[in-house]
Structure 1
Amino acid sequence: MIGFVGLGDMGLPMASRLLAEGHEVIAWNRSPGPLSALEEKGAVAAADPAEVMSRAELVGLCLSSHDTVETVAFGPSGLFSATDITARAVADFSTGSAEAARRFADRAEDKGVAWVDAPVSGGVPAAESGELIVFAGGTAEGVGMLAPLFEAVAARVTHVGPSGAGQVMKICNQMIAATNVVAIAEATAFARKAGVDVDTLASALAGGFADSAPLRIFGPRMAAQSFSPRLGAISLMRKDTGLVQALAAEIGAEVPLTDAARRVYDRAGDHPDIDFNSDLSALVRLYEDALTQTDEDAGA
């Protein structure tokens, strides 16, 4: 049996993939709605994370931050509070700090469990299709033990190094993705202002140097100003750029583009019609509303 904890935008489709691949799944989630939805598909609903750890052989986590992971894994009723641990390995698909990942791995090892930081890229569409990209940090043995779980949810797993290395690789990914999404929002608003049919923007740029998965996913949504269902929250990208900035300060690296992107994500909290829980495509409102305001000021 495979356990899964955290059934949010990414976790629910990942756990659903496990069921679709024929695995028995025991799951837990803080809010009952997603857990009930997964239960209807055939999963077993656990009373708490400890029950997951005491009944599953492998466990996946997909949570919002390393602070939440620490609580769910090591807090009261957490995974490692189980008196009879049957799980051999845990894959933490959450995005967090490398330092926290190393700390979690040490604590899990003390319990005889392999901990692999395994953050993912590809967004909700890849989670739904089982084609996520996984950056795995930990021991080769731990990564190998988690193969049945990885095979159900991922198109590719790269073992990038020891504990924490997966998280470093993921925030490198987020440096590119975060600035890319901002650039797409900026370009969409710019093109609309210049009189271009922005509905053709993503398809026109397809195959060229500007093409990217974020452009194909979020570009049409920005053009149509269609921001639901949510495929990626502003809050999470904002959190991830903060992780980049924190590590950059620690190692003495310059990240001016990430710094600029973070300022854009911060502005979402001041917008009257969007907030940090909005879809990433809603960032276009920051630029298009600013352009509208500029026109109004010029005509005054």
Structure 2
Amino acid sequence: MMSILPSLGFAGIGLMGLPMCQRLLAAGYPLTVWNRNPAKCAPLVAAGARQVATAAELCQHADVVMLCLADTAVVREVVFGPAGVVEGAKNGQLLVDFSSLEPSATREMANELMEETGMAWLDSPVSGGVVGAEAGTLAIMVGGEIRNLERVRSVLLSLGQRVTHMGGVGAGQVTKACNQMIVACNALVIAEVVALAESSGVDASLIAAALAGGFADSRPLQILAPQMAESRFEPVKWHVRTLLKDLDTAVKFSREQGSATPITGLAAQLMRLHGGQGFLEKDPSTLVQMFRAPDSTS
């Protein structure tokens, strides 16, 4: 017997949301989309998606409503604000949030949504960037009830190569914060390394290949080091402001837990310094500019 695919709603058609929705459509899922800038939905509508005018309307057409939004404040507005998800939510529906948010706020919002509507919440932040979203190779870390995860596991596997249940609501966000701590600190060290190699007369474009397979190797090294060495900062695949937001989230949460994160705190300050110099909307590969000599022509 042929199984019936769940109908999906998706809010947040940005750098990550667009390719994720394109994969869902390619997998055959009925998809309804909404975005604060409606024009960004155009390529999805052309590919067969239905577009609605409000987030609340997503619930009329979808068993599962998915979010991929900028930060905690935006998610709160889209879910609980005027014409938000809460106004259309029904008991038994499921919200899956791919955004990277504050763990404590996620737990509060999940409890509020359940109490008001009976709609359950899975926090399911992702790692892998735009490249991973396009290829369907994201790592997805999930917080929430396992029975709710099983309802959408096949959907998530259309988007990622790995889906891991980390615990109750908020556990996915804690895991994503840990992920971003490693990624951001790694990116800053890679920037230091490239700048040091350049100032020493070493061909920095060879660093990634030279270290491949060794203990210093990583996906960020293989992606960022060549970009930094070539000063190849376009196209923007992710934003400095996103890394800064996630670092601030990690530092705030660690403070709430009484846990020491001094390296992450320093990384947040360096990222804030870089962003304050006009790089908030730029790619993190631009971090190398912070460590290059002022008269560098690289």
Q: TM-score range by the shorter chain?
A: over 0.9
Q: CA deviation at 1:155?
A: 0.8
**Correspondence list, 1:8-157, <5 A:** 8-82=14-88, 85=90, 88-110=93-115, 111-157=117-163
Instruction: Specify which of 177, 183, 186 is matched with residue 180 of structure 1.
Output: 186
Cα separation, 2, equivalents of 1:170 and 1:150: 16
Cα separation, 2, equivalents of 1:46 and 1:80: 16
Whether the 8 Å contact between 2:140 and 2:163 is mirrored in structure 1 is: yes
- Structure 1 match to 2:294: 292
Instruction: Specify which of 242, 251, 261 is matched with residue 255 of structure 1.
Output: 261
SS class of match (2:65): strand
Aligned residues: 290
Structure 1, unaligned stretches of length 5 or more?
296-300
When the two chains are superposed, the root-mean-square deviation of aligned CA atoms in Å is 1.7
**Correspondence list, 1:200-279, <5 A:** 200-271=206-277, 274-279=278-283
Cα separation, 1, equivalents of 2:91 and 2:38: 25
SS class of match (2:122): strand
Query: Structure 2 vs 1, CA of residues 104 and 270 (structure 1 numbering), >3 Å: closer, same or farther?
Result: closer
Structure 2, unaligned stretches of length 5 or more?
1-6
TM-score by length of 1: 0.92
Q: CA deviation at 1:135?
A: 0.9
- Percentage of identical aligned residues: 39
Whether the 8 Å contact between 1:88 and 1:112 is mirrored in structure 2 is: yes
- 192-201 or 92-101, which deviates more: 192-201
Q: CA deviation at 1:32?
A: 2.6
- Structure 2 match to 1:282: 286
Cα separation, 2, equivalents of 1:114 and 1:189: 48
Q: CA deviation at 1:34?
A: 2.0
User: Letter of the aligned partner of 2:251 in structure 1?
Assistant: Q
- Structure 2 match to 1:298: none
Query: Structure 2 vs 1, CA of residues 2 and 148 (structure 1 numbering), >3 Å: closer, same or farther?
Result: farther
